[in-house]
Amino acid sequence: MSNIGNYEERYKTFDWSQAKEHLGYSEGDFLNIGYYCSDRICEQGKADKLALIWEGPDGTLKRYTFADIRVLSNTYAKFLKDLGVEKGDRVCIFADRIPDLYISLLGILKLGAVAQPLFSAFGPESLITRLANAETKVVLTTRKHVSKVRKIKADLPALKHIVIVEGEPKKMGEGEMLFNLEAAEKVEEFTSFAADLETPSLLHYTSGTTGQPKGALHVHSAIFAQAITTRWVLDLNDSDIYWCTADPGWVTGTSYGIIGPWSLGITQVVLDAGFIPDRWYKFIQDHKVTVWYSAPTAIRMLMKQGEEIVKKYDLSSLRYLASVGEPLNAEAVHWSRQAYGLPFYDTFWQTETGSIVISNYPGMEIKPGSMGKPFPGITATVLDLKTHEPVAEPGKVGLIALKPGWPSMFRAYWRNEEVYKSKFDKGWYICGDRASIDKDGYFWFVGRDDDVINTGGHLVGPFEIESALLEHPAVAESAAVGKPDEVNMEVVKAFVALKPGHEPSDDLELDIMNFIRKRLSPLAMPQEIEFVSSLPKTRSGKIMRRVLRAQEWGEPVGDLSTLEND
Ligand code: PRX
């Protein structure tokens, strides 16, 4: 029997007070995610239970009990407090998936500060937009990544400390210090900040069509939604060994790679290494992973490797598989049934929603290719593209929309009230995705409603790429769009018009690609650059990405009446 039991029944009877009860919370109780994920679990008699089994790139294993996580996150909280970090200050964690990333995040929350994890592959340009906007006070990073922070430090007046938590640089720069968690004096007791339901907790940056990335601000009460969805969607129980393959630089890696499992006292495993199929399978075999939460791109890559390699490993520990981040094609669901004897269950949500909002559930029939149905407590619909009224006919495409009010919903885009407000209309939060609902209430994803590119489950904003392209000395104008890709679903393609005196060449293409990879990230790097003499624009001078995108996807271009140079 699954934890959720009968979905339809749950949906009818659920209200969010049950999610609070599920964590033993009553109105007015002490609340702090850091405390809930460590001290509280120890108080439940699970101090000696393993919280984290970590495997490093070279195969090194480290094990942490909930008691370790409690004391070590206290140690981080005290260290940051002594450094002058106060309630509400933003502390960025910019590191690979090292244990410190997971532990310091809880420490930051215990202090009442706001944790801002950033993906370690980000280059200086991606970093500065996010650190400047958040006015981040402290960056926790490692020897491997500190040089990228150094490059931009002079332009970050709010940044007071750069703390190197792993490795030792040959030379230390101004405002830099070392912190070694293993060597530090351990802090047995730390009084966590008594957060209320609305106290800010995490800041995750996400990309939109226009402007720079926006910081989705979450609050401590998000834990109620993260815990209950972990229980009912991921079906986690006390005896599970859980693996979430997402990096905590992205929301999946915090909501379901830290808070969800630890709030329930569940053992999780982390592999701090890139994607290597053999390594992944061996990891599942070695640690006897039971529940695996991953992403369609990874599944498609595993599919490409075929079933023979699956047979080399004993994956019999697996009992439940789920996926998020991009459309999970029906073929991938069929393949996983065949290869692992288990289907992947698709889940849909966003940085802004903080927790799973539409999903397939254990026990509910999967329709391969569908995202499933709204989570209990979530009212979801699709709205007419123009009128924003709910679409009545089954199968008709509209905008996915949710009734605001669930606990893990974002509370703001950091210092960007205008864009935040633009996400709401007629009492709905509009996700920015298109879908249809069939006669049985299942949601079918169609595509994004904006120009954001989803590559391998990671959103990248065209504006950010185009701004960086314009900094290249040869580039006069540019447009970035997604083009179809068999594995990553989409990859970035850039259209570039050159400045006088520059000629298209393979060398220049490579140079521009590398320029973006270093400044932004490997994800944002165009996989192809097409040199053009000019770009399609509206009469008001706005580049029409939609025309370029339609070309790439072989789709009709639509209304071109506003096109200038036609
Ligand atoms: O476009 C949808 C896609 O990913 C977007 C959210 O991205 P992000 O905020 O980075 O969060 C990713 C992980 C929670 C959505 O607006 N997306 C997410 N899940 C699915 C999906 N597209 C199709 N199917 C999904 N299951």
- φ, ψ for residue 546, nearest 5 deg: -60, -35
- φ, ψ for residue 296, nearest 5 deg: -55, -40
Task: Give distance in angstroms: CA of 284 to centre of ligand 1.
Answer: 25
Task: Give distance in angstroms: CA of 206 to centre of ligand 1.
Answer: 11
Contact, 523 vs 456, CB < 8 A?
yes
- The distance of Cα 204 from the centroid of its chain, to the nearest Å, equals 8
**Whose C-alpha lies nearest to ligand 1, atom 5?**
350
**Whose C-alpha lies nearest to ligand 1, atom 7?**
350
| 318 vs 243: CA distance, rounded Å | 10
Residue 250 CA, closest ligand 1 atom number: 10
Mutate to test the pocket of ligand 1, among 209, 449, 459, 464 (most ligand atoms within 8 A of CB): 459
**Whose C-alpha lies nearest to ligand 1, atom 21?**
326
Same domain for 375 and 290: yes
What is the pLDDT, as a whole number, of residue 144? 97
In a domain? residue 564: no
In a domain? residue 561: no
**Whose C-alpha lies nearest to ligand 1, atom 6?**
350
Indicate the burial class of 274 (C-beta count within 10 angstroms; 0-12, 13-18, 19 or more): exposed
Question: Which string of b and e fits 223-247 if b means at least 16 CB within 10 Å?
Answer: bbbbbbbbbbbbbbeeebbbbbbbb
Give Cβ neighbours of residue 405 (< 8 Å, ≥ 6 apart): none
Structure tokens at 155: 């332009």
Same domain for 463 and 383: no
What is the pLDDT, as a whole number, of residue 464? 94
* Strand, helix or coil for residue 387: coil
**Domain C-terminal end among 404, 437, 470:** 437
Confirm or reject: Cβ of 371 under 6 Å from ligand 1. yes
| 200 vs 77: CA distance, rounded Å | 16
Mutate to test the pocket of ligand 1, among 433, 444, 446, 451 (most ligand atoms within 8 A of CB): 433
**Domain C-terminal end among 402, 437, 472:** 437
In a domain? residue 445: no
Q: At what angle do helices 296-305 and 330-340 cross, to 10 degrees?
A: 60
Contact, 217 vs 203, CB < 8 A?
yes
Confirm or reject: Cβ of 252 under 6 Å from ligand 1. yes
Mutate to test the pocket of ligand 1, among 323, 353, 356, 445 (most ligand atoms within 8 A of CB): 445
Nearest residue to 445 (alpha-carbon basis) of 437, 456, 457: 437
In a domain? residue 29: yes
CATH of the domain at 276: 3.40.50.12780
Tell me the residue ranges of DSSP E strands in 98-248.
Answer: 114-118, 138-142, 161-166, 176-178, 200-206, 214-219, 241-244
In the 8-state DSSP scheme, what is residue 294?
Answer: E
Nearest residue to 233 (alpha-carbon basis) of 136, 149, 324: 324
Task: Give distance in angstroms: CA of 91 to centre of ligand 1.
Answer: 26
Confirm or reject: Cβ of 433 under 6 Å from ligand 1. yes
User: Helix (H) and strand (E) counts for the chain?
Assistant: 19, 27
Confirm or reject: Cβ of 80 under 6 Å from ligand 1. no
Confirm or reject: Cβ of 251 under 6 Å from ligand 1. yes
Same domain for 72 and 192: yes
CATH of the domain at 506: 3.30.300.30
Same domain for 152 and 56: yes
Q: What is the pTM of this model?
A: 0.96
Confirm or reject: Cβ of 348 under 6 Å from ligand 1. yes
- The distance of Cα 537 from the centroid of its chain, to the nearest Å, equals 33
Indicate the burial class of 222 (C-beta count within 10 angstroms; 0-12, 13-18, 19 or more): buried
**Whose C-alpha lies nearest to ligand 1, atom 4?**
325
Residue 351 CA, closest ligand 1 atom number: 9
What is the pLDDT, as a whole number, of residue 566? 45
Confirm or reject: Cβ of 434 under 6 Å from ligand 1. no
In a domain? residue 94: yes
Same domain for 148 and 46: yes
Confirm or reject: Cβ of 431 under 6 Å from ligand 1. yes
Same domain for 357 and 243: yes
What is the pLDDT, as a whole number, of residue 1? 84
Nearest residue to 113 (alpha-carbon basis) of 91, 140, 132, 92: 91
| 557 vs 548: CA distance, rounded Å | 8
In a domain? residue 2: no
In a domain? residue 392: yes
Task: Give distance in angstroms: CA of 448 to centre of ligand 1.
Answer: 9
Query: Do the bridges between strand 458-460 and strand 453-455 make them parallel or antiparallel, or are there none, so unpaired?
Result: antiparallel
Same domain for 419 and 510: no
Same domain for 21 and 56: yes
Task: Give distance in angstroms: CA of 420 to centre of ligand 1.
Answer: 18
What is the pLDDT, as a whole number, of residue 563? 62
Mutate to test the pocket of ligand 1, among 326, 370, 402, 434 (most ligand atoms within 8 A of CB): 326
Confirm or reject: Cβ of 85 under 6 Å from ligand 1. no
pLDDT in tens, the chain (566 residues): 899 999 999 999 999 999 999 999 999 999 999 999 999 999 999 999 999 999 999 999 999 999 999 999 999 999 999 999 999 999 999 999 999 999 999 999 999 999 999 999 999 999 999 999 999 999 999 999 999 999 999 999 999 999 999 999 999 999 999 999 999 999 999 999 999 999 999 999 999 878 889 999 999 999 999 999 999 999 999 999 999 999 999 999 999 999 999 999 999 999 999 899 999 999 999 999 999 999 999 999 999 999 999 999 999 999 999 999 999 999 999 999 999 999 999 999 999 999 999 999 999 999 999 999 999 999 999 999 999 999 999 999 999 999 999 999 999 999 999 999 999 999 999 999 999 999 999 999 999 999 999 999 999 999 999 999 999 999 999 999 999 999 999 999 999 999 999 999 999 999 999 999 999 999 999 999 999 999 999 888 888 999 999 999 998 887 666 666 54
Confirm or reject: Cβ of 451 under 6 Å from ligand 1. no
Give Cβ neighbours of residue 206 (< 8 Å, ≥ 6 apart): 213, 214, 216, 251, 350, 351, 352, 459
Confirm or reject: Cβ of 144 under 6 Å from ligand 1. no
Same domain for 223 and 149: yes
| 493 vs 481: CA distance, rounded Å | 5
Contact, 282 vs 256, CB < 8 A?
no
**Whose C-alpha lies nearest to ligand 1, atom 24?**
327
What is the pLDDT, as a whole number, of residue 564? 62
Same domain for 402 and 368: yes
What is the pLDDT, as a whole number, of residue 210? 80
Number of domains within the chain: 2
In a domain? residue 290: yes
**Domain C-terminal end among 408, 437, 466:** 437
Task: Give distance in angstroms: CA of 350 to centre of ligand 1.
Answer: 5
- Please, which residues bridge with residue 491 across strands? 483
Task: Give distance in angstroms: CA of 349 to centre of ligand 1.
Answer: 6
> What proportions of the chain, in percent to the nearest 5, are helix, strand and coil?
30, 25, 45
Q: Which domain holds residue 458?
A: 450-553
Same domain for 273 and 214: yes
Same domain for 474 and 405: no
Confirm or reject: Cβ of 297 under 6 Å from ligand 1. no
